[in-house]
Structure 1
Amino acid sequence: MTLARVFYLLLLAFPRLCPTEPVEPRRDTDFAFLAYTLQQLIISNQGCVQQNALQERVTKIEVSLASIESTVTRLVIENAQLKEAFSQESKLKDLERRLIALEDREQHQHAAEDGDDNDMTPKATTCTSPFKEVMGRCVHPMPWTTGKWVEMRQVCQRMGADLVVIESADFLWALIQHLRGMSFDTVDYWVGGFRKSTKTDYRWVDDTIMKTGTPFWGYATDYDRREPYHRPSDLHICMWRKGLYFMYSCGVDHQGSPICQK
């Protein structure tokens, strides 16, 4: 067997990674031609190996991207479901607060209707609608009506009442609970505290002197001290919603809702 024939058989046996045209046997094939052909085939096969490796990497990246897109889609759906669940939970809590308030009012009403006439203990205060009893006082918060202190006091006076007087910490606490139970804790409220000028003490509308400091007055973070701060324009007292309904000295142009008391 000649050397040319050996090279020819090697060409036929060499693995082809890329499709190539079949090499037809030639009688005039010489050693140089076969050597050149074998060299080109080796170079071609090396390029095909690199191309196949690159294609495998591209395929893996495409699979990873598809997996990431699927994960993102699932997270978006789960986020939407969580938002819906949170919204439903907030609505349920609001309904629960309203139900508790209704049950509390119903219990007070039944207690008043079913009271024993022979009982010598003091009767609970009877309040006419729309006023409600809070620690023996008849009060009526009106969060739907907003204006200056003087205007809101006139609203109460037209109802035969006046702005509420808060002389004890217990009553302040009970009043705040009443606002929250009615879901009325959404606005600032005017109370019956005022001063006639910057040189006078704060007084209630019944002309009693207001107590200052803890536990009635809130803390003024802007001035790093407890209210009242005695700013010149702050002549009236409000229960400030952002201050957890402690009392603050508010300006004459401040907008608030009245809490009327009979």
Structure 2
Amino acid sequence: MRCSVFAAVVAVSLATPSTWKDDYHPAKSCPMPYQQVADRCLIFAASEVSTWHDARAYCHGFLGDLAQVDSADLLMAVVDFIHDEGLNGHNFWIGANDEAQEGAWKWPDGSDVHMGTPFWGYWTSPSVQEPRDGTASNYCCLVSNHFYYFGDCWGTEKYSPLCEFRLD
């Protein structure tokens, strides 16, 4: 009898999703309308299109900022989400820019953007890796026809905001 009760408790525990938490690690969840993607709270605002600065203001309206895609795992999760949710074909603004100093790409929190592979796209003609447009393009975008690798884009282009709410 004890064995079957134990087995039932284990089976229920394994079948029931749970969030690990204690007094030192409280459970965190994303506020609406953000969705959890990997360990981040994101809004893929595919129905909105705007310049980079207007996209950033849009995110501020939801108490967030343009997303800080600062790990290869997060980039992969973002691309998977785009494909899984049928958002293929939409282009997105993220928070990286080199507006303050050409070539010094920064995230909204002031941290450096990782350069090179696996983040930045690669052009085959001419054979050059992004960012490639110098002072003409100071804002980071994820463009569908470049497989959602980072690209340096003109801030006046019209893309959708990819917003992030920081839980920390």
Q: With structure 2 as the length reference, what TM-score do the two structures score?
A: 0.81
Contact 1:198 1:235 in 2 (8 A): no
Structure 1: segments with no counterpart, 5+ residues: 1-109
- Residue of structure 2 in register with 1:136 after alignment: 39
- Residue of structure 2 in register with 1:250 after alignment: 153
Contact 2:46 2:90 in 1 (8 A): yes
Indicate whether 1:182 and 2:94 are aligned.
no
Indicate whether 1:228 and 2:131 are aligned.
yes
Residue 180 of structure 1 deviates from its aligned partner by 1.3
Cα distance in 2 for partners of 1:121, 1:181 equals 34
Residue 231 of structure 1 deviates from its aligned partner by 2.6
- SS of 1:210's partner is coil
What does the per-residue CA deviation read over 1:6-64, in whole Å, with 9 as the maximum and x for residues that have no partner?
xxxxxxxxxxxxxxxxxxxxxxxxxxxxxxxxxxxxxxxxxxxxxxxxxxxxxxxxxxx
Q: Which has the higher strand share?
A: 2
- SS of 1:232's partner is helix
Residue 200 of structure 1 deviates from its aligned partner by 4.3
Residue 220 of structure 1 deviates from its aligned partner by 1.8
Residue 123 of structure 1 deviates from its aligned partner by 6.5
User: Amino acid of the residue matched to residue 172 of structure 1?
Assistant: L
Q: Which has the higher helix share?
A: 1
User: Amino acid of the residue matched to residue 146 of structure 1?
Assistant: V
CA RMSD of aligned residues (A): 2.3
Q: With structure 1 as the length reference, what TM-score do the two structures score?
A: 0.53
Cα distance in 1 for partners of 2:103, 2:88 equals 31
- Residue of structure 1 in register with 2:118 after alignment: 215
Structure 2: segments with no counterpart, 5+ residues: 1-15
- Residue of structure 2 in register with 1:194 after alignment: 97
Contact 2:123 2:129 in 1 (8 A): yes
- Rg: which structure is higher? 1
- SS of 1:156's partner is helix
Contact 2:91 2:142 in 1 (8 A): yes
Cα distance in 2 for partners of 1:157, 1:118 equals 29
User: Amino acid of the residue matched to residue 232 of structure 1?
Assistant: T
User: Amino acid of the residue matched to residue 68 of structure 2?
Assistant: V
Cα–Cα, structure 1 residues 204 and 129, in superposed 2: closer, same or farther, change >3 Å? same
Percent identity between matched residues is 25
Number of aligned positions between the proteins: 150
Matches within 5 A, 1:42-191: 111=17, 115=18, 125-191=28-94
What does the per-residue CA deviation read over 1:148-179, in whole Å, with 9 as the maximum and x for residues that have no partner?
10010000001100000011100100111111
Residue 251 of structure 1 deviates from its aligned partner by 1.1
Cα distance in 1 for partners of 2:47, 2:70 equals 25
